């Protein structure tokens, strides 16, 4: 299966999780596309069969600046070819921020719902206040994601 991975990161942790997820998905036999500066055109040219989003959250519960342009493009266009694709979201945040914890991930879940992407499992919520190894923390979620993709 061709899986496109998109990410948004402030300090690089979400990019590291996205790269690690790509390695795990490839080891499971999937083809992946990941570029932290990917454009919508590049994603569409890859013709994904599934989508994975990995994002950190800014202090106000927003997406990181590096993901904002792609997010806006996708929202403006809502690529019809992505309707019905399986997908998932890994959100990184800090639970001490309360209501905005993993807010960036929630924004991507909402976008996936608008696109008609089928969320195959509940969003992973990785808490920076509890761990310094989010890429390792994401592994059990990724193992289940792979199973659910079939």
Nearest alpha-carbon partner for 24 in 52, 43, 45, 47: 52
The pLDDT score that the predictor gives to residue 44 is 96
The pLDDT score that the predictor gives to residue 111 is 97
The pLDDT score that the predictor gives to residue 20 is 98
pLDDT in tens, 58-106: 978 999 999 999 999 999 999 999 999 999 999 999 999 899 999 999 9
The pLDDT score that the predictor gives to residue 150 is 82
The pLDDT score that the predictor gives to residue 80 is 95
Query: CA 16 to CA 21: how far, in whole Å?
Result: 8
Letter string b/e over residues 105-142, b meaning 16 or more CB atoms within 10 A of that residue's CB? bbbbbebbeebebbebeebbbbbbeeeeebbebbeebb
- Boundaries of every domain in the chain: 2-149
The pLDDT score that the predictor gives to residue 32 is 98
pTM: 0.96
Indicate the CATH number for domain 2-149: 3.40.50.360
The pLDDT score that the predictor gives to residue 131 is 83
pLDDT band at 55 (very low <50, low <70, confident <90, very high): very high
The pLDDT score that the predictor gives to residue 132 is 85
pLDDT in tens, 13-29: 999 999 999 999 999 99
pLDDT in tens, 115-142: 999 999 999 999 998 888 999 999 999 9
């Amino acid at each position: 299966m061709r899986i496109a991975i998109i990410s948004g990161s402030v300090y690089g942790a979400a990019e590291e999780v996205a790269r690690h997820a790509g390695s795990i998905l490839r080891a499971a036999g999937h083809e992946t596309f990941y570029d932290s500066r990917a454009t919508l055109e590049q994603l569409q040219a890859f013709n994904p069969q599934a989508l994975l989003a990995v994002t950190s959250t800014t202090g106000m519960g927003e997406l990181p600046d590096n993901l904002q342009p792609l997010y806006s493009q996708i929202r403006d266009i809502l690529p019809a070819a992505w309707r019905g694709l399986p997908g998932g979201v890994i959100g990184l945040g800090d639970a001490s921020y309360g209501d905005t914890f993993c807010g960036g991930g929630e924004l991507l879940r909402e976008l996936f719902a608008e696109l008609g992407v089928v969320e195959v499992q509940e969003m992973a919520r990785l808490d920076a206040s509890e761990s310094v190894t989010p890429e390792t923390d994401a592994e059990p979620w990724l193992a289940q994601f792979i199973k659910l993709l079939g």
